[in-house]
Amino acid sequence: MSKAMKKTVSAWALAGASALAIATGAIAADRPAELAPLGDPPIPADNPQTPEKIELGKMLFFDPRLSGNGAMPCSACHLPDAGWDFPDKISLGYPGTVHWRNSQTIVNSAYYGNLFWAGSSKSLEAQARSAAKGAVAGNGEDDMLEARLAFVPEYRERFKDVFGTEYPRLGHAWMAIAAFERTLVQTDTPFDNYMRGDDAALDEAQKRGLELFTGKAGCSQCHNGALLTNQKYYNLGVPPYDGWETDEIAQITFRYELYAKGSTEEMYRTFKDDPGAYFRAKDKNHLGKFRVPSLRYTKYTAPYMHNGMIETLEDVVEFYNQGGGENEFAKTKSELIKPLGLNDDEKADLVAFLESLTGERIVMEEPELPEYDVLPAASN
């Protein structure tokens, strides 16, 4: 591994470890040491939470004006009623395109050290910007988005109140959206309550599943800590997205992403699968690797994996039980992925435990959005 790659990997690990250290809550003495209940989310010093900022961020999260065509809000790909993600294999694409990866839930995203499947954004603020401006997502342009906000009197007032500027600034919009997203956390799941000492919070099947999770099934090798992820990157052998076989627009998106992210000509012409974390440092040892996602709130976020190719939690367990799958990047498939030998009862118990990592649905009504109006005339 090159010095540059070691530095990159170290930065990823440090960011993840920092977030998890802050996130960990108090743990009962007789609970698995590699797991923990979730504590309060980390709040960056340069973007403190205030009620006014959170309310502004909530409005902007649901406002389609922060997109190229004025019709693609953050909530288009992160639907509250659908787990705060998109209920299909691949996320919704900008009109005229399709996306190329599965949309991840916003719930508990405040705890990640890096955002997106390949860790391309280092904060929720950066993630909001990347999504709103991404060519197959929001496809927005800075000057256009900022001008739209300026033509909304209520936004001018709110931005001035929260950030002290005469007119809305786009960087502040991302800060407000991130502040709202940091309120979408769930720290009171049955698992959290059990880890804090409530023996009755899990039923017997879930307790057996927990024992499998930290033992025979080996899940906690990667899904550990309070967030249930070590935030590292692995190739599991997830098969390629099947839409690329029949959907011409999806094929165009795939080739575009290969080109835009810096593929070699050989890769562009021959690759049939998502190179994943390769793009972060152009290291072939990371082909096909993706960040380990949190297992929290997964009861409502099917389908699973970076391309949505696994439909249910039962299918996820069976995928691992079979020793993963096969894809184009066999050389980088993790050695941790091997057949588990679970029987039907054990698989059912493991699914029961996974469901304990989710509490009640987090839902909310969309806010009423303010209207456009003419800008006031400049005074002499």
Residue 288 gets the label, from left (phi > 0), alpha (psi -120 to 50) or beta, of left
Alpha-carbon dihedral sign for residues 43, 46, 51, 55 = negative
Count of CB atoms within 10 A of residue 334's CB? 17
Tokens encoding 134: 């991404």
Q: Is 172 annotated as a binding residue?
A: no
Q: Is 223 annotated as a binding residue?
A: yes
- Residue 188 and residue 297 in contact, taking contact as beta carbons nearer than 8 Å: no
C-alpha separations of 377 from 81, 167, 168, 374 in Å: 42, 14, 17, 9
Q: Is 306 annotated as a binding residue?
A: no
3-state secondary structure of 29: coil
Query: Which ranges of the chain would DSSP assign to H, the alpha helix?
Result: 3-23, 51-61, 124-133, 142-150, 153-163, 170-181, 190-195, 204-214, 248-260, 265-270, 278-281, 313-321, 344-355
- Residue 220 and residue 146 in contact, taking contact as beta carbons nearer than 8 Å: no
Residues 6+ apart with CB under 8 A from 326: 237, 239
Q: Is 78 annotated as a binding residue?
A: yes
Among the listed residues 309, 307, 265, 305, the one whose alpha carbon sits nearest the alpha carbon of residue 98: 307
Residues 6+ apart with CB under 8 A from 50: 162, 179
The DSSP output letter for 131 is H
Residues 6+ apart with CB under 8 A from 284: 278, 332
Among the listed residues 159, 144, 153, 129, the one whose alpha carbon sits nearest the alpha carbon of residue 65: 144
3-state secondary structure of 338: coil
- Residue 196 and residue 37 in contact, taking contact as beta carbons nearer than 8 Å: yes
Show the CA angle centred on residue 38, arms to residues 310 and 29, nearest 5°. Answer: 115
Annotated binding residues? 74, 77-78, 219, 222-223
* Feature table: binding site for heme c: 74, 77-78, 219, 222-223
